[in-house]
Structure 1
Amino acid sequence: MIPAVRRLLRQPSALRFAGLLLLLAGFAVTVLLVPRPDPAQLPRLADSLGGYAPVAAIVGGALLLVALVPRTFITLASGAIFGPLAGAAYALGAALLAAAIGFAVGRLLGREFVAERVRGRLARLDGWFARQSVFGVITVRLLPIAGFGLVSYGYGTTGTRLLPFLAGSVIAATPTAVGYAAIGAAVSSPGHVNWYAAAPASFGLIASAVLIHRWWRAERRRRLGPT
C-alpha cells in the first residue's frame, strides 16, 4: 500500500491535487479556530479606509470566501458597513472574484488529476459538469451541499466552462446577497429594521425547489429518450 502511495505522489498531477487538499484543510482549520468580528462594529472600519473601502470590501471579501469563510457572514458584514444596496453589490462583487479565484486554483491543482482517474459513473458526472449551462450552475449553487468557496474549488476540478460558471454563481448568489445585506444593515441600525429583508432569501429557497424540479424532469426525459 505504501509503495503504491509513494508512486502516486511522484506524479506531478497527484502532488498538485494533494496540495489542493492540504490548502483546503488548512483553510477549514483556520476558519474554525479564528474568532469572527462583531458585524455591528464593522462600520468603523469603513470610516478608517475612506474611499478605498469599496475596493477593500470586494477584494477582502473574495479572499475570505476563498479561505472558506461562510458567505453569509461576509454579506452580513457588507450590509452592516455599506447599507443594504451597496452592501449587496459589494458582496456580489466579492462572490464573483472569489468564484474566479477558486475555480482557477481548482483547475490548476486538481483538474488533471481528476481527468486522469475518473471512470464509469464518475466519468459521466464529469461529462455532465462539462456540458453545464448557466442554469445547471445555478441549480448546483442553490443546493445546500457545500460552502461557496468549496464549490468553486470543486468546479475547477471538473470540465465546466468558466463563463457559465461565473454567471451562474452570481445569479444564484443574488437573492441571499440582497436579503443578508439588508439584515446586516439592520444590525448596525437597530431602529430601522426591515422585516422584508428575509424575502430574497425565501425567494432563493423557492427558486431552488423549482430549479431542482426542472433539472429532474430534464434528466428523466433524457434517460427515457424520445417516445
Structure 2
Amino acid sequence: MIPAVRRLLRQPSAVRFALLVLLVAACGVLLLVVPRPDPSELPGLADRLGGFTPVAAVLGGALLLVALVPRTFITLASGAIFGPFEGAGYALTAALVAAAIGFTVGRLLGREFVAVRVRGRLARLDGWFARQNVLGVITVRLLPIAGFGLVSYGYGTTGARLLPFLAGSVIAAVPSAFGYAAIGAAVTSPGDVQWFAVAPAGLGLIAGAVLVRRLWRAERRRRSAFGPTR
C-alpha cells in the first residue's frame, strides 16, 4: 500500500486533483444507484455481527460518510441499532474517522494543485481557511452548503489545519447526532426512547444561528475596513 501511495504522490498535481474529482463523482453516482437499507432491518444485522457490531458501525459508518452518504442516514441507523445515546456516540465516532479520512485524501490529492493554481478571490478564500480556528470550522459545518463527506474532501484541499478541523467537525455534529439517533431509535423501539435526547438538536439550531450571525457581522466589518472587493 505504501509504495502505491508514494507512486501516487509522484504524479503531477493536476493528475492527482483530477483523481480527486473522479473519486467524488464516482461516489455521487453510487449514491444515486445503490439502494439504502431500511433502518428497521438494521438491528437484525447487528445481532448477526455480535460483539463486532460497534466496530462495524464506526468503520462502516465512516466509509459510508466518505462515500458521500448523508450523515443523517448514518445517525438514524446508529440510533436504530444502539438506541439514542449509544447510537449518537458511535455516529460521532464515525464522523470523526470520516472527517480524518476525507481531509487526508483531499490533502494528498488536491492541496498542491489548489496552492499553486488558485488566484484572486480563491486565493484569499484559501487563506481564510488556513487561518480558521475551531469556531470557523463549526460555522462552515453548520451551513447547508454541502454534505459531510464533500466538505471533508474540500477542507483537505485548503490550507486548513487538521486538528481544528476535526474538533470543529465533531462539535458541529453533536446536536443533530442526538436528535437523529433518537428518531432512529423510535423506528425500532418507540416505547424505549427518551425524547429529551432530542434537546441538543434544538440547541444546535440556536448555536448555528448565532455562529452564522457572527460570521455575517465579521464580513461586514471587513468590508467596512477595506472597502468593497473589486
TM-score (norm 1): 0.91
Contact 2:110 2:156 in 1 (8 A): yes
RMSD across aligned C-alpha pairs, in angstroms? 1.6
1:153 matched to which residue of 2?
153
Letter in 2 for 1:108: L
Once residues 170 and 182 of structure 1 are traced to their aligned partners in structure 2, the CA distance between those partners, rounded to angstroms, is 18
Contiguous gaps of at least 5 residues in structure 2:
1-10
| 1:33-89 C-alpha deviation (Å, 9 max, x unpaired) | 011101011011111111111111100000000000000000000000011111000
Letter in 1 for 2:220: R
| 1:118-169 C-alpha deviation (Å, 9 max, x unpaired) | 1111111000000000000000000000000000000000000000000000
1:208 Cα deviation after fit:
1.2
Specify the SS of the correspondent of 1:159: coil
1:15 matched to which residue of 2?
15
| 1:198-217 C-alpha deviation (Å, 9 max, x unpaired) | 43323222211100111222
Letter in 2 for 1:117: R
TM-score (norm 2): 0.90
My pick for the range that moved more, 197-206 or 130-139, is: 197-206
Once residues 16 and 36 of structure 1 are traced to their aligned partners in structure 2, the CA distance between those partners, rounded to angstroms, is 30
Once residues 202 and 90 of structure 1 are traced to their aligned partners in structure 2, the CA distance between those partners, rounded to angstroms, is 21
Once residues 14 and 225 of structure 1 are traced to their aligned partners in structure 2, the CA distance between those partners, rounded to angstroms, is 37
My pick for the range that moved more, 83-92 or 211-220, is: 211-220
1:220 Cα deviation after fit:
2.9
* Count of matched residue pairs: 216
What are the within-5 Å matches in structure 2 for residues 112-123 of structure 1?
112-123=112-123
Specify the SS of the correspondent of 1:26: helix
Specify the SS of the correspondent of 1:42: helix
Q: Give identity over the alignment, percent.
A: 79
Contact 2:84 2:193 in 1 (8 A): no
Contact 1:180 1:197 in 2 (8 A): no
1:224 Cα deviation after fit:
3.5
Contact 2:14 2:113 in 1 (8 A): yes
Once residues 122 and 116 of structure 2 are traced to their aligned partners in structure 1, the CA distance between those partners, rounded to angstroms, is 12
What are the within-5 Å matches in structure 2 for residues 79-158 of structure 1?
79-158=79-158
1:7 matched to which residue of 2?
none
Once residues 92 and 53 of structure 2 are traced to their aligned partners in structure 1, the CA distance between those partners, rounded to angstroms, is 15
1:195 Cα deviation after fit:
4.8
Once residues 27 and 128 of structure 2 are traced to their aligned partners in structure 1, the CA distance between those partners, rounded to angstroms, is 29
1:180 matched to which residue of 2?
180
Specify the SS of the correspondent of 1:160: coil
Once residues 211 and 162 of structure 1 are traced to their aligned partners in structure 2, the CA distance between those partners, rounded to angstroms, is 21
2:29 matched to which residue of 1?
29
